[in-house]
Amino acid sequence: MPVLRLAVVGDPHGAWDQSDHKLLELLRPDAVLVVGDLSDGCPEIPARLNRLPLPLACVLGNHDAGRDASGRTLLRQIACLGELHCGWGLRQLEPPGVAVVGARPGTAGGGFHLSRAVLAAFGPMTLQDSADRITAAALAADPALPLVLLAHCGPAGLGSGVDDPCGRDWKKPACDWGDQDLTLAIRQIRVHRPVPLVVFGHMHHALRRGQGHRRSLAVDREGTIYLNAAFVARHGHDLAGRALRHFSWVELEPLGGGGALVRRASHHWYGLNGCLHYEEVLHQAAPAPAVPC
């Protein structure tokens, strides 16, 4: 089966415009995954995403509620995205042939906490309720398709250091700031099918107070790849003055029966003409052993 090329958009925070659309139309990834924090509640970016002529799935983050505790701004964002939004739900992209399941929308990490906006929009629920909703969405997916979990904040359990993929860097002591309901959902889903890839953002690549940079990728004992795509700001310039756009990039090889192998995961910085100027390789699968004659 052909390897799928997934472009992952990490925490735009307003940095999304027509140049990103033109660039994606040049690059032609098989699918685009957006991890949330599009802006502070402005409907313009969800409307633009809806016009992108590529298979796309999105989950919203804590900033997408703006400062509106009533939940109305969050619900407007979801309505604007329409079927693109997969928080607590399934978005099956065919083509290219991948099942994307969204984790809890509106999360700010820190274990399990529902903001006032999320409570107003969705009502109260327990950690187990949230995990069960994610699990049910995954089990509704075509079992033949590879599964990707799309979250705003990553799961708990990836480390408690300041530079771990979900480590708290803005307040001492450093601790694990991942979502416990996502961790529980992954455990429950694995009873029934493999989970090859989890992509998320929220915890930015550059650590606070000049503490360096975050580790963007982790692999657990089951072989699941966890990718933090939140390179903020994702619009920038290099020392030569060239405009750059950031995407995390994943090459996912379906193996049949719902299994898949992450062949390569990277941070990419592209020029506006589609030229790849910089690449940071985060993971590369070992080549398959040669078959003796």
DSSP state of 170: S
Helices (H), the chain: 18-27, 44-50, 72-81, 116-122, 127-139, 180-190
Across residues 247-263, what is the average pLDDT? 96
Q: What CA–CA distance (Å, rounded) separates 293 from 253?
A: 25
Across residues 146-175, what is the average pLDDT? 97
Query: Which residue did the predictor score with more confidence, 3 or 258?
Result: 3
- The two tokens of residue 95 are 């083509």
8 Å CB contact between 195 and 186: yes
Task: Encode pLDDT of 5-59 as tens digits.
Answer: 999 999 999 999 999 999 999 999 999 999 999 999 999 999 999 999 999 999 9
Banded pLDDT at 252 (limits 50, 70, 90): very high
pLDDT at res. 256: 87
Closest alpha carbon to 183 in 222, 145, 154, 211: 154
Across residues 103-107, what is the average pLDDT? 98
Task: Encode pLDDT of 71-89 as tens digits.
Answer: 999 999 999 999 999 999 9
* Burial label, 148 (beta-carbon count in 10 A; 0-12, 13-18, 19+): buried
Print the SS3 string covering 199-248: EECCCCCECHHHCCECCCEEECCCCCEEEECCCCCCEEECCCCCEEEEEE
Across residues 167-193, what is the average pLDDT? 97
Beta strand pairing status for 31-34 and 56-58?
A: parallel
8 Å CB contact between 85 and 78: yes
Banded pLDDT at 158 (limits 50, 70, 90): very high
pLDDT of 181 above 60:
yes
pLDDT at res. 84: 98
Across residues 111-125, what is the average pLDDT? 97
Q: What CA–CA distance (Å, rounded) separates 34 from 8?
A: 6
Banded pLDDT at 192 (limits 50, 70, 90): very high
Tell me the pTM: 0.96
- The two tokens of residue 291 are 């078959």
pLDDT at res. 290: 55
Q: What CA–CA distance (Å, rounded) separates 190 from 202?
A: 24
pLDDT at res. 56: 98
Q: What percent of the chain has pLDDT over 70?
A: 97
> How many alpha carbons lie under 13 Å from residue 176 in its C-beta half-sphere?
13
Rounded to the nearest 10 degrees, the angle between the axes of helix 180-190 and helix 127-139 is 40
Banded pLDDT at 289 (limits 50, 70, 90): low
pLDDT of 141 above 80:
yes
Query: Which residue did the predictor score with more confidence, 94 or 288?
Result: 94
Type of residue found at 3: V
pLDDT at res. 286: 79
8 Å CB contact between 16 and 233: no
pLDDT of 66 above 70:
yes
Mean residue pLDDT of the chain comes to 96
Banded pLDDT at 194 (limits 50, 70, 90): very high
Instruction: Using alpha carbons only, give the angle 88, 89, 90 rounded to the nearest 5 degrees.
Output: 150
Banded pLDDT at 209 (limits 50, 70, 90): confident
Phi, psi for 168 (deg, rounded to 5): -75, 125
